[in-house]
Structure 1
Amino acid sequence: MSSDKKELKLTFIYVVALLVGTAMGMFIPIATTHMTTLELDSLWIGTISSAFFIALAVGSVYIDRKMRGNDFSVMVVMGLFITAISAIAFPHTTSPILWLLLMLAMGTGISFNLVGIQTAMHVFSKEVDRAKVSGLYSLFFALGFAVSSITGPKGYVLSPMLPFYIGAAVLIVCCFIVNRKLKGRLIIARYPKHKTINKVPVPLYGAFVYGFAETTVIALFPMFLLMRGVGVAEVGIAVGAFIVGCVIGTLPITYLADRVGRKKCFVVVIAVSILSLAGVVAIDHYQTMLLFSFITGFVVGPFYPLTLALTVQDLTQEELPSGTALFTFTYAAGSAAGPILSALVIASLGIQHIFSLTLVFFLSLLLFVGLQLVREKHKKKFDRGNLSG
């Protein structure tokens, strides 16, 4: 495929990222708001929110194993359509069991999209540009999520069904784009001979921690604010501040990472994330809390493109699908664990401990990445010593 055609395909992938981000920003945080408004128990809310990401993890593994050598665009379209129908049905029931099943269906559908679209994104991009391409993909996704997370609660005030309907309509548009512009281009290569996971353990753990942190903020932060007496519209602004921070921080931090070293930049980002997230919980003043929410988004948002770029940068063409699927699996596993485990901590220790587990994971990631940097530095010195000897 020519360079111009690849650039065109990447453009459509960015459009899909924008639309899927818009849809998810509509029904993921709004689902939590909807269940909280109907006074569902916090443990149920955490479980249902986690179900989406459990299905996302399982679906990504299934697709990687079952769709090798086939045109994946059909499954992407099917997954987006299933997600749209489930989103429409969500506000029409008050049964926790049905909400759980609908979240499982939506997570499965989105997993088909993520593995297929992100694999195609890496195939269409040049190896030297993958960090930039991952950053642009994340930027468009986060931009869509930011806009919808701010406007969604305002629509919910008008009608509880409106955000779900809008999100579903956006996904239907996505189905047409994928079917018309990417059909026949999403061919998943055959399995590589060696296990891909052995090459990328630290980036995958970073994806897990990012998923844990992100979904704890998106799924439970609205509940945290509502329990502190913040209004529904203000909740949307607070979550939106986090998402806007993600949008604004993605490109400059990924650009800086390419210049000074991705792992070095990652260490700084993790450290600032720990401080800012602690500030969100500690501060009661709403406007100041908005600032810390924005800062948290600014440094946490680049986790996704940084860990994704670190995951795929040394993989061969046939390893890319497995690398992408593993990234999606670990991200989804962290995302699934975040709301339910944080909800258990809240139930045991109180709402002020909403981010306690998240901070533990951030600290452990900081330790792992720091140790890896030290080992790499010592290895370089050892290699230089051998060469000079």
Structure 2
Amino acid sequence: MSSTRYTFWVLILVVSIAGLSQGLSIPLLAVLLEQQGVSTVMNGLNAAALYIGMVLISPWLEIPLRRIGYRSTILVGMVLLTIATALIPLFSHLIVWFFLRMLMGIGDSSLHYSSQMWVTKIASPKTRGRDLSMYGLAYGVGFSVGPLGLNLLPLGIWVPFGTLLVLYVVAFILLARIKNEFPDKIVQTEKKQNKYATVLRVGWLALIPSFLYGFMETSLNGSFPVYALRTGLSIEWVSLILPSFVVGSIILQMPLGSLSDRIGRKQVMLVCAIVGGIAFFLFPLSGENVYVMMVLLAIAGAAVGSFYSLGLAYSADLLPASMVPTAGIIAGINFGVASILAPNVNGVLMQVWEPWTIFWLMGALLIVFAAACLFNRQANSDKDQLQVQLQK
């Protein structure tokens, strides 16, 4: 096995551990706060701390990535995650948890941004969709397994958190065995002050999926546990229903990535957005039938669970290689902003309106994106034109 492929597979294993961590910690803390009698609005605000940390750090992540490299940036993120995870069980104060969850967000964002950019760099353009889908698949597998850790809670609050700490040690060992690398240098003629505007102008459609994925993921993992408990579902059912979305994405993650390599990312995302939107609109009709809930979430996950990786691959199609890290920064900010909005918007909806409206909102967002894909006439030749402009 070449060193590049070895690095790829180490990153795949590490991101699966990171996915499991996030998949467990989000619903775990939501359940703990609900059991303490915290309101849905305050629960949502506390959950938003994770994504506030992401948004605060995202604009600056390109600096350490270029200065200390991919692996070192990932290791810094792992250290921050480890510290926050170890401290959360020691405190029960809402404000302390808020700041610790911010620290987790900073660590998560550092880890994911660096690993995503590393995979994008080492992936061949002909298999970029497949490789990034494999990355998304690894995260999805970990994320789907994560909520099962809720069943460890009856053994003591330390048990689920201790399990995460053991997995972090495994990630540190894996990362220690690969060589550090650095991203491509920016061409000197590129104007830094215009970089973000240029990426937004050329790759705006490719950056929307990161927002949508962040909103859906946080809505399901941060708000659905509260919605479920308030409609009479047990924690055990929540731990089984929640993974359905990610399990669905696992089924089609690789096929959709490979299909996008052949027929185009935009076409694949258009159809997927329509299917996912319909599944979310139908969700309220499931009533209290948990099996119908699981089927609909699995369909939605199969359709849109790979949106982040497809969007990132599409941005790499549209932009020069040196500008892809900038697109990754914007995608991370979009994800964080959406994840901040989701628990707060959903908390208000559940408090002042019908709880099921959170699913109609997700469906509506997907249909709007599908319309944008349908009417957009973005040409891939823009990438070549931009490359020529940058070299003048």
Do both share a fold (TM > 0.5)? yes
Aligned to 2:43: 45
Aligned to 2:384: none
Give the Cα separation in 2 of the matches to 1:114 and 1:197: 21
Aligned to 2:218: 215
1:64-83 equivalence runs, <5 A? 64-65=62-63, 67-83=65-81
1:250-329 equivalence runs, <5 A? 250-284=253-287, 285-329=289-333
Aligned to 1:381: none
- Kindly provide the CA deviation profile for residues 163-198 of structure 1, in whole angstroms up to 9, marking residues without a partner as x: 22212221232223223314x214574475452232
1:166 aligns with 2:170: no
Deviates more, 1:347-356 or 1:7-16: 347-356
Give the Cα separation in 2 of the matches to 1:274 and 1:242: 13
Aligned to 1:154: 151
1:229 aligns with 2:216: no
> Is the Cα contact below 8 Å between 1:26 and 1:152 reproduced in 2?
yes
Poorly superposed stretches of 4+, deviation over 3 Å = 186-194
Identity, % of aligned pairs? 21
Give the Cα separation in 2 of the matches to 1:72 and 1:254: 24
What TM-score do you get using the length of structure 2 for normalisation? Answer: 0.89
Aligned to 2:181: 185
Q: CA distance change for structure 1 residues 45 and 188 in 2, over 3 Å: closer, same or farther? A: farther
Aligned to 1:385: none
Q: CA distance change for structure 1 residues 67 and 240 in 2, over 3 Å: closer, same or farther? A: closer
Give the Cα separation in 2 of the matches to 1:259 and 1:127: 12
Give the Cα separation in 2 of the matches to 1:75 and 1:188: 16
Matched length = 373
Structure 2 residue ranges without an equivalent (≥5)? 381-392
> Is the Cα contact below 8 Å between 1:64 and 1:325 reproduced in 2?
yes
- Kindly provide the CA deviation profile for residues 100-137 of structure 1, in whole angstroms up to 9, marking residues without a partner as x: 11110000011111121111111111122211110000
Shift of 1:92: 2.9
Give the Cα separation in 2 of the matches to 1:75 and 1:67: 6
Q: CA distance change for structure 1 residues 345 and 234 in 2, over 3 Å: closer, same or farther? A: same
Give the Cα separation in 1 of the matches to 2:360 and 2:352: 12
Q: CA distance change for structure 1 residues 113 and 376 in 2, over 3 Å: closer, same or farther? A: closer
1:342 aligns with 2:346: yes
Give the Cα separation in 1 of the matches to 2:73 and 2:258: 33
Give the Cα separation in 2 of the matches to 1:126 and 1:376: 21
Aligned to 1:198: 201
What TM-score do you get using the length of structure 1 for normalisation? Answer: 0.90
Structure 1 residue ranges without an equivalent (≥5)? 378-389
Give the Cα separation in 1 of the matches to 2:153 and 2:108: 23
Shift of 1:322: 1.1
RMSD: 2.2
> Is the Cα contact below 8 Å between 2:284 and 2:356 reproduced in 1?
yes
Aligned to 1:386: none
Give the Cα separation in 2 of the matches to 1:105 and 1:204: 25
Give the Cα separation in 2 of the matches to 1:156 and 1:225: 18
Shift of 1:86: 0.9
Aligned to 1:240: 243
